[in-house]
């Protein structure tokens, strides 16, 4: 997929609109994970070094009322960004109006401005998230060119991506969006083989389209996490009080038939009687889970099975933890998968599909051991489903 990037256009003296994804987690009024800010820095620095006048904007959190506005202002992000760039980031606490327009027009080459949370526009009729035509046109009028670098919203047609692109002469990808296209798109279009997909998370229903698409492309699909118990049930095993989508058992059975030898389920699991960080853990064969126990993690036999396949892989995409990694006692399986993937970095392309998988490897301190960690959970999931993402489609082709 050859898309124009920020390298392909002249930037000096231009007002460069940059849609970033600064939807960072906040805890007690502080940024608890700044990975998305760090990932956006190469594009921002490039625009500034080329003499562009950078105008940044993003969403942050969900905005339903005025109290949400107070706790989801981008001011804190602008302050942190200025520290990374070692230059002032002019923050405008508005999403439209004279103050914003005057500030944009006052920018010099190499200056940077950030305006307020785009979802503040959702308080009255969800103008941002429903791609209000007037809003997209207004934001487009603030700049000369548009750089979309927000993969985290690429699966949504919003005013701040698709709406702007429809009303401006040039729309290109930033370096982060380019990376996502190259790595995830590349893995789906032309993977080095063996290509292994690892899928976890809670529900089969969240991953139906992903499984269907990957069964056409991958050599093996390894399944763990809460969704595995619906597959175990489809095999005729009892799963105790484990997470189970009873209405998806027949679907799981048909996927197993369709996947044949491609789908690999675990041989054993770690169980507990309660969903609690301190609950006593037990190791059970996958076909021998007691009625009063629930699956919490993959077991040692499954770890050995999964890592044996990972060791031979040339391309791996991982979406969804294989256990309740938030509880240290039940994080061993997810940690083992992550560690196994770091050992093949020199021989394989290893891609983490955002969301909880990314949170897990960052929590384990293993992020540096992967080829690429996606910044978009929902977007990467839809990309793996084979869907056309509006935020990528709106970028001009080369």
Annotated catalytic residues are 36, 203, 355, 378
Coil, strand or helix at 197: strand
- Tell me how far apart the alpha carbons of residues 336 and 78 are, in angstroms, rounded to a whole number: 37
CB 73 within 8 A of CB 116: yes
CB 340 within 8 A of CB 307: yes
CB 282 within 8 A of CB 271: yes
Q: DSSP string of 233-290?
A: HHTT---TTS---GGGHHHHHHHHHHHGGGEE--SEEEEESSSSTTSPPEEEETT---
CB 170 within 8 A of CB 396: yes
Q: How many helices (H) and strands (E) does the chain have?
A: 16, 17
Coil, strand or helix at 124: coil
């Amino acid at each position: 997929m050859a898309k124009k990037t920020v390298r392909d256009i002249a930037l000096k003296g231009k007002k460069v609109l940059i849609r970033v994804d600064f939807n960072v987690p906040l805890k007690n009024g502080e940024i608890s994970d700044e990975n998305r800010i760090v990932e956006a820095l190469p594009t921002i620095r490039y625009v500034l070094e080329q003499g562009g006048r950078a105008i940044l904007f993003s969403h942050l959190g969900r905005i339903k009322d005025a109290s949400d506005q107070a706790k989801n202002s981008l001011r804190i992000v602008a302050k942190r960004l200025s520290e990374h760039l070692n230059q002032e980031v002019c923050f405008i606490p508005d999403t439209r109006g004279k103050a914003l327009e005057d500030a944009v027009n006052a920018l010099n080459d190499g200056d940077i401005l950030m305006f307020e949370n785009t979802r503040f526009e959702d308080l009255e009729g969800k103008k941002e998230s429903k791609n209000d035509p007037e809003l997209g046109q207004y934001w487009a009028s603030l700049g000369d060119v548009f750089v979309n670098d927000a993969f985290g919203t690429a699966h949504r047609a919003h005013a701040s991506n698709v709406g702007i692109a429809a009303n401006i002469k040039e729309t290109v990808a930033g370096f982060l969006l380019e990376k996502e296209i190259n790595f995830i798109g590349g893995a789906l279009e032309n993977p080095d083989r063996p290509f292994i997909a690892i899928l976890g998370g809670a529900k089969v229903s969240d991953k139906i389209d992903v499984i269907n698409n990957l069964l056409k492309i991958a050599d093996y699909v390894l399944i763990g996490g809460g969704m595995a118990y619906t597959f175990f049930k489809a095999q005729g095993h009892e799963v105790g009080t484990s997470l189970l989508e009873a209405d998806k058992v027949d679907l799981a059975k048909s996927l197993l038939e369709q996947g044949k030898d491609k789908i690999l389920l675990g041989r054993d699991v770690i169980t507990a009687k309660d969903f609690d960080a301190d609950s006593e853990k037990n190791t059970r064969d996958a076909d021998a889970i007691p009625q009063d126990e629930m699956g919490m993690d993959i077991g040692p036999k499954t770890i050995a099975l999964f890592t044996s396949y990972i060791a031979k892989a040339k391309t791996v995409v991982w979406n969804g933890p294989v256990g309740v990694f938030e509880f240290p006692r039940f994080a061993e399986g997810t940690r083992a998968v992550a560690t196994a993937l770091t050992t093949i970095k020199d021989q394989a392309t290893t891609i983490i599909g955002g969301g909880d998988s990314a949170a897990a490897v960052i929590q384990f301190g293993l992020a540096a051991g992967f080829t690429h960690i996606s910044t978009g959970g929902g977007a990467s999931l839809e990309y793996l489903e084979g869907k056309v993402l509006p935020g990528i489609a709106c970028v001009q082709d080369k």
